[in-house]
Amino acid sequence: MAADQLTAGDHPDGHASMNYSPAMDYAAHVATYRFFIDLLKWATIGVVLAVLLLAYLTL
């Protein structure tokens, strides 16, 4: 087993110890959230445009 891998037996109470600080991946979290929101926005715009185009072509 690699030295950087933890198992439940490595910690005294039987749980793996993960020492994450609250700000550890904050920048990555914000970037992922913004990407998700932008993707959702453009997907919504695309669906609305597709519906409008289909409505125009069928009327």
What pLDDT score was predicted for residue 26?
Answer: 87
Secondary structure tally for the chain: helices H, strands E: 1, 0
Q: How far apart are CA 22 and CA 46, in angstroms?
A: 36
Which pTM does this prediction carry?
0.57
Q: Look at residue 58 and tell me whether its pLDDT is greater than 80.
A: yes
Sign of CA dihedral 34, 40, 43, 48: negative
pLDDT digits (tens, 9 = 90+) for 27-57: 889 999 999 999 999 999 999 999 999 999 9
